[in-house]
Amino acid sequence: MRPLVVGQCGQIVTMQGPKRARVGSEMGDIGLITDAAMIVRDGKIEAVGPQDEIEWIAPADADYCDAGGRLITPGLVDAHTHLVFGGDRLDDFEARSQGKTYAEIATDGGGIWRTVGATRPLNTEELAKRASHHFDLLGRHGTTIAEAKTGYALDRDGELRSLRALQSLRPRVVPTLLAAHAYPKDQDPEAYLAMVCGELVPLAAREELARDVDVFVEEGYFSHEDAERLALAARAHGLGLRMHVDQLADSGGAVLAARLGARTADHLEHTGADGIAALVEAGVAPVLLPGSVWGLGLSRYPLGREMVDAGLPVVLATDFNPGSSPVPSLPFCMALACRFMRMTPAECLTAVTVNAAATLGLETSHGALMPGMAADFAVWEAEDYRELAYWPDVATVHGLPGICYNLNFR
């Protein structure tokens, strides 16, 4: 394959810097180059820099892609999604628009159980098709890598089918076992948790079906003690731990995630100063999900500004799911973070590229456009990186990883 020169880029966001998550003031340094170009060879970035410098070193036999002054960023990385599910929750959405609460919707047969009922009957192939479709929705908004959780079957065989369905999307999708999403109504809670820890976790590890396990820690769902049992099982089998914590109340979930050595603590809408300090001390990455706050019609967003200032490697993700966050767009989540969490557009870009990649173990290959890293990039109908958060539905993706579609080749 001949090398490719992508030239006439209005801006390239390189994320130049250390191949690790960025913290503090580093989050505002996005390695921006204007009037830029880059060389791609064998699927990797060979060089990136000002247009005139790249022209001097460009191989004579290279294909040329004229970006027409457009913005190029690393392919976005969505570090928290729920891609594997059947059906939808349109009825729930309409009920919420009429003022019904989450609890009222659940009582009427909606909520997670509506999705469980639509997911359990599906075979692995059907689940894979739906997950692929959902991943394509993310891709339309610039996402090229995503973490994806199970959690809508809530039984042994269904959770395994969900994990196996995600294998067809590797390496673009990194699977997580979220069997501890809610206790199933049709099983004894203690027996279910014992099965998750004693059967599903070992199977997921042995067959390399998942990188991490996850648990939803809230009143009425999984307790701190439950999370500890799951963490011990995950650690015993070499899997990492991700945690949904402090979404609905400050239950000490962030402190728990720190104590358990979680890879990430997700949601954190109600996490305060003590929780932030604990995450800093333990080196746990916060994954903030403003789309779910918006989707539920709530007003309390995570303390994004405070977390950046505290030195945490903040990550933004969509929480894409059929209920609380039917949001496939990371740029929309960036807009929410700028508006309601006082993060800057540059910090938001860091949070959806290199920092997100680091939580998936991809910080040396993805999330930045530096020599030797994957040529995994998005071309946007925008001239300035700030447009992604300024009008996120206008600055839509124009290209996908390593290939510029519908642009000008010569």
Rg, C-alpha atoms of the chain: 21
> Which one is the CATH code of 77-359: 1.20.1050.10, 3.40.50.150, 3.20.20.140, 3.20.20.150?
3.20.20.140
CA distance 19 to 6: 23
In CATH, which superfamily holds the domain spanning 4-75+367-409? Urease, subunit C, domain 1 (2.30.40.10)
Q: What is the pLDDT along the chain (410 residues), one digit of tens a residue?
A: 899 999 999 999 999 999 999 999 999 999 999 999 999 999 999 999 999 999 999 999 999 999 999 999 999 999 999 999 999 999 999 998 998 887 788 788 888 999 999 999 999 999 999 999 999 999 989 999 999 999 999 999 999 999 999 999 999 999 999 999 999 999 999 999 999 999 999 999 999 999 999 999 999 999 999 999 999 999 999 999 999 999 999 999 999 999 999 999 999 999 999 999 999 999 999 999 999 999 999 999 999 999 999 999 999 999 999 999 999 999 999 999 999 999 999 999 999 999 999 999 999 999 999 999 999 999 998 999 999 999 876 444 544 444 444 344 33
Give me the pLDDT at residue 107, please: 82
Q: Where are the domains of the chain?
A: 4-75+367-409, 77-359
| Phi–psi pair at 199, nearest 5 degrees | -120, -55
Question: Nearest-CA neighbor of 359 among 168, 253, 212, 244?
Answer: 212
Cα within 13 Å of Cα(127), Cβ side: 31
Largest Cα–Cα distance in the chain?
68
Instruction: Give whole-number Cα distances, 115 to 112, 160, 218, 359, 397, in Å.
Output: 5, 17, 20, 27, 30
Kindly give the residue spans of alpha helices, DSSP state H, lying in 189-324. 189-195, 201-206, 224-236, 253-259, 273-282, 290-295, 304-310
Residues near 119 by beta carbon (within 8 Å), at least 6 away in sequence: 84, 85, 86, 87, 127, 152, 153, 158, 162
> Tell me, what DSSP letter sits at residue 69?
T
